[in-house]
Amino acid sequence: MKIPFLLFAYIMMAFATGIYGQARKIDTTMKLGNIGFKLVCNNKNEDKNYVTVSPIGFGSGARDVSFEVKGRIRKAEVDDLNNDFYPDMVIYIYSSDPNDKGTVIGISSIKNESLAGIGFPDIVDDPKLRTGYKGFDTFMLMEGTLMRRFPVFTADSVGAQKTGMYRQIQYKVAPGDRGMLSFKPVRSYEFAKQ
């Protein structure tokens, strides 16, 4: 029995979409020396994903932290982001948006006794940085700073095209409102990707 071509194409698209739509469960431990974090997330429901962060090697008063995120976790990293000689963690979260828009959740060690959040600014709130932004974010830690890179698009609201340039933003952790830590953009530049 022959399968009509359109039916075959539909089955293959559904199969590919099913594979692409699946996300890996996250269950990882990251340390700096003997101190670090265990991160667990089933990564199943994009609208409501539960995350648990467990401190490792902290004082006896440190407790697990559980929270909900919108999107799926792709990666996490650990480094000392606020120069206090204690490890901090960043979690990279992406939505199902076809433009692959990402955001960051930061968690800071408070003298290895407790955990606190590190705020991350929405790029749309900064007129200079949002110009030409359509998504396709990549993040990484580099020597205690957070780097964000994305392709720059033309400013057209409809039919925006890639310009061939990329923007890189460097964020440092600093005290923010009411003493809470927050990522602050300290430098940005554009370059043509080779």
Query: Sorting pLDDT into bands at 50, 70 and 90, what band is 152?
Result: very high
Does residue 118 sit within a domain? yes
- Domain membership flag for residue 165: yes
pTM of the model: 0.84
Which phi and psi angles does 11 have, rounded to 5°? -60, -45
Segment 67-84 shows an average pLDDT of 95
Per-residue pLDDT, 157: 65
Q: Are 92 and 76 in contact (CB under 8 A)?
A: yes
Of 17-26, 131-140, 154-163, give the lowest mean pLDDT range. 17-26
Kindly state the percentage of the chain with pLDDT values over 90.
74
Residue 173 lies in a domain: yes
b/e burial code for range 31-55 (CB count within 10 A of at least 16 → b): ebeebbbebbbebeebeebebebbb
Task: Output the furthest CA–CA distance in the chain (Å, rounded).
Answer: 70
pLDDT at 138 over 90: yes
Tell me if 22 is assigned to some domain: no
Average pLDDT of span 116-123: 95
Structural domain total, the chain:
1
Domain of residue 166: give its range: 27-192
Closest by CA to 26, choosing from 93, 82, 81, is 93
Q: What would the DSSP string read from start to end of 147-184?
A: EEEEEEE-S-SSS--EEEEEEEEEEEEEE-GGG-EEEE
